[in-house]
Chains A and B, each alone.
Chain A
Amino acid sequence: MAVETQKAVQTQPLVSRRPWLSSKRVRNTVRSILTHAALIPAALIFMLPFLWMLSTSLKTDAQLYTYPPVWIPNPINWMNYPNTVTYITFFLYMRNTVIIAASATLGALISCSLVAYSLARIPWPGRHVLFIITVATLMLPFQVTLIPLFLVFKNLGWVGDFRPLIVPHFFGSGLYIFLLRQFFMTLPIELSEAARIDGASEFRIYWSIILPLAKAALATVAIFEFIARWRDYLGPLIYLNNQKLYVLSLGLYEYSSQYGREWGLLMAASVLITLPIILLFFFLQKIFVQGIALTGIKG
């Protein structure tokens, strides 16, 4: 039977309904062409805002309002870039943004990994309840805590500097605790038991065994948090009132005045702000996807 079939295929390849699809390789090529055909238009749409930013950042004021709009300005006006970093105190704002984003990320990493460790790896009564409470905070709209937190920081005299934007992140965040706990749960418990027999303290196990194994998950948390802080607008809007301490997202507002917007300069600044995180994401996206897959959103 098998021999017959094979023979039939060999002698009558045209019997197949779609002979050009018969070989697996051809089929794969067709499939990948179709995939690209779907991905490329979508990619163009997703690139549109950024490309338009780029294009506008290279235009002079006169070129801005031509209709229909042009993509590649002629002549290309590079001057928006050197001008934009002096129009607002760009590098000062960037320094502030980096300080806040880096400290908050560090805080989130330390606090969330410690809490997640205790929830996942140390048996103590009430930890399940605490875990549910932690997840429940994810459902809490930020508006509920917004006002009381503002008042707490005001009474502490912290409003106007970086502390309200950094310190809360040292107290953990539901989402990251959830992700890290899910990941820590997947590591074999024997690792901890062996270390305990050798007399290692809990902190030692956490620091020298669990953390090194959780690099991808930690990296994911770090990127999430860093990007979130880099882009944050509401926090700085509420807490910062001294212009010397402004961050980039607030600085972008200075290009608008009652006389209109400096579109070219604004877009040049936006490109400069976005570029570092694009690079960060491009090089780390693999860890990122793996990190989330490993942490197992799936429960």
Chain B
Amino acid sequence: MSVTAPAQSAPSQSATADIEASCRWPLLALFGGAVLWLLLGLIFALIASLKFHNPHFLYSQSYLTYGRVRLAHQTALLYGFAVPAALGVGLWLLCRLGRSPLPAPGVALIGVILWNIAVLIGVAAILCGDSSGFESFAMPGYVTVILLVSYLLIALCGLLAFHRRAEGPLYPSQWFVLGAFFWFPWIFSTASMLLLCLPVRGVMQASIAWWYAHNFSSIVLGYFGLSSIFYFIPKLLARPLHSHYLAALAFWTLALFGSWGGIPTGAPLPSWIVSMGVVGAVLTAVPLLAVFVNFYHTARHNVEALDAHLTLRFTYVALVFWLIAGMQQIVGVLPNVSALTDYTWFSVAQWELFHYGFFALAMFGAIYYIVPRLLDRADPPVWSPGLVQAHFWPTFFGILISYIALLVGGVGQGFLLNDPNYTFAQVTRGTLMALRADTLGDLCIVVGTLFFLLNFALLLSRFACRRWTDLRKGAA
């Protein structure tokens, strides 16, 4: 039942070098932009978080009021960081696994630049008070149009590379990337159309906004993150993936059930919709279990190797966080639990664990592997190992601190809220400690990200210096 790990039968060096070279500029633009947006998004998160210490922090201007900053934070993180990073990893996997160079890299590069300009306009619009108001979909309508066009430019290049692939059989990572490539424009155009262009009536808007946010995270970002995990863990452990069938089971059950839900249990919607969401969320236990068993059997013989490679460390920690976030989601929809935890920081804790703990770490792992090879396939420049450590540990502990603080704070908030003898002011006071601990977590993640940015800049500059010396030598 075992299958060969990706790219084990090594193709000729020059063909691989061509593939990497074709991806170079679009992917560098995607990753570079993503890291800058991540930092900006985290700074917004920090500003929002500091307001819980003192509501009079940066309060006098409308563009830095809590509501706007929080939406800007989510937008920068989801559309500035998450989607571009995911597209970069996705394009690279399609080219690499299909053994075909990226066609029309110039078109993809234009798409990337347009995308980043659109996100910039979107974040500025949110800060100026022109947001759509929907969480995870806060950008105004005129921006979503540009985003959709630039997404199509980038994704079509990827699809073309997939179409021209030299390798016949597909590896699971390719399914996941294609699934996400396909899913995103569908949900994004549905949401733009039915929330912004021709808004549907009444509570349908809320239903669609919840459905969009859920699908965007669980399926689109989930698929991209998993594609990287499915590629790097077997490849860098030099062990075949345990089972293609389990991978297929995870893929299809996640597509079917992971896409239902995201709707709070007490929502003012017909109860069958809410029930379907609960059923779907509970059934995501199947993909969780399938992925867990698959990787347990893939990695169990050399667990110690997981820590040896820097990409692997990020990737397997991301996998563990994905499993935890998934389990939390299942527990959170159970009726007795959701009565307690809906609309509390409990769900924010899950959101942060999924987006930072799982998705961002999976992307960091991939970026650490991909970027040096993009620059020079034959002799990849190396990351500074100290800075990698300085990136990993603050990020890891920051995620843990934030997650545990918000989880505990959220459950506590739920208990206090459900007892009407506590006034709301008392409930608020009860959560303050957790929110302030969360600031510490955010700060750690910012520090880690700064080191990552520094490492990225150093890598690029070292490579540029080397090129420059080579050129000078060639001239002399």
Task: Note whether A and B form a binding pair.
Answer: no
Give the interface of B toward A (CB within 8 A).
none
Give the interface of A toward B (CB within 8 A).
none
